[in-house]
């Protein structure tokens, strides 16, 4: 899929799929404040979403999982089977390990839990649109079990005590802002620590830091 650049003049086209109208409307209102994204349609379940996808160009589908007729995982599977060119974010309350692993197997572009902070949702949506895989850090234990990726036994010795603290907090699902407040340091300083952790352990994303930290310290 060709990576698109989204701006106020050329916003990303989003489809919201959730069987709870109030939650759907709340997310739509939140997204309406952003200039580089535009909600072009809404659906109550997967079948409605597929009908819309057959008629509209959509850059990102934001899917609930627990829905009637066709749930989120089933809808994701259909989208991939039909070869529809769109990114898919599962935005749900389900932290069930099978759901997470099934979604990853089917090539989901993001798996986020609904209890996250509103500003983080916007940040993560933009990451997905840029081509990054985004997973809620609190799902790190599930990811660690699924991936079972070996880590260097001495890699933790490369990190400072502060960097180890930050890595552990990322594994707990804390945002940079929350980590900064907890440690009494600026959010920009936390970002520097995250950058150093990624470089020292040869990782690419916060999700990988979370998985690494769970495997190393828990």
Confidence at 155, pLDDT banded by 50, 70, 90: low
pLDDT at 100 over 90: no
pLDDT over 90 percentage in the chain: 43
Q: What is the pTM of this model?
A: 0.67
pLDDT at 203 over 80: no
Alpha helices in the chain (DSSP H): 21-31, 46-53, 72-81, 97-105, 118-129, 140-147, 161-171, 176-183, 187-201, 206-217
Per-residue buried b or exposed e for 165-181, using 16+ beta carbons within 10 Å of the residue's own CB = ebbbbbbebbbbebbbe
Provide the pLDDT for residue 184.
Answer: 94
Q: What confidence tens digit (pLDDT) does each residue in 24-63 have?
A: 999 999 999 999 999 999 999 999 999 999 999 999 999 9
pLDDT over 70 percentage in the chain: 89
Confidence at 206, pLDDT banded by 50, 70, 90: confident
Sheet holding 110-113, edge to edge: 37-43, 12-17, 60-63, 87-92, 110-113, 134-135
pLDDT at 156 over 70: no
pLDDT at 154 over 60: no
> Around Cβ 190, how many Cβ atoms within 10 Å?
24
Provide the pLDDT for residue 218.
Answer: 57
Q: Once rounded to an integer, what is the mean pLDDT over residues 101-115?
A: 84
Alpha carbon of residue 44 to chain centroid: 21
Confidence at 150, pLDDT banded by 50, 70, 90: very low
Provide the pLDDT for residue 104.
Answer: 79
Confidence at 151, pLDDT banded by 50, 70, 90: very low
Q: Contact, 167 vs 179, CB < 8 A?
A: no
- Per-residue DSSP letter, 91: E
Q: What domains are defined for the chain?
A: 12-135 (3.40.50.2300), 142-217 (1.10.10.10)
Q: What confidence tens digit (pLDDT) does each residue in 166-190 have?
A: 998 887 767 788 899 999 999 999 9
Cα gap 24→57, rounded to integer Å? 20
Cα gap 3→129, rounded to integer Å? 8
- From residue 92, how far is each of 17, 35, 110, 152 by CA, in Å? 11, 24, 11, 33
For 186, the token pair is 């600026």
Provide the pLDDT for residue 175.
Answer: 78
Provide the pLDDT for residue 217.
Answer: 66
Selection from 109-118, 151-160, 187-196 with the highest mean pLDDT: 187-196
The per-residue pLDDT of the chain, averaged, comes to 84
């Amino acid at each position: 899929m060709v990576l698109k650049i989204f701006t106020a003049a050329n916003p990303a086209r989003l489809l919201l799929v959730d069987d709870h109208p109030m939650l759907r409307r709340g997310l739509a209102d939140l997204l309406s404040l952003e200039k580089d994204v535009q909600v072009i349609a809404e659906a109550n379940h997967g079948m409605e979403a597929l009908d819309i996808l057959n008629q509209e160009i959509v850059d990102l589908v934001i899917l609930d999982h627990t829905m009637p007729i066709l749930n989120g995982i089933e809808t994701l599977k259909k989208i991939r089977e039909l070869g529809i060119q769109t990114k898919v974010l599962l935005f749900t309350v389900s932290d069930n390990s099978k759901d997470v692993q099934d979604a990853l197997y089917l090539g989901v572009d993001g798996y986020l839990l609904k209890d996250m902070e509103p500003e983080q949702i916007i940040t993560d949506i933009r990451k997905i649109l840029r081509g990054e895989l985004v997973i809620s850090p609190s799902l790190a234990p599930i990811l660690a079990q699924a991936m079972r990726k070996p880590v260097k036994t001495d890699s933790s010795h490369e990190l400072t005590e502060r960097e180890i603290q930050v890595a552990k907090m990322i594994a707990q699902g804390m945002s940079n802002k929350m980590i900064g407040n907890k440690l009494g340091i600026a959010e920009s300083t936390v970002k520097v620590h995250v950058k150093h952790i990624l470089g020292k352990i040869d990782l690419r994303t916060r999700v990988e830091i979370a998985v690494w930290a769970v495997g190393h310290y828990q």
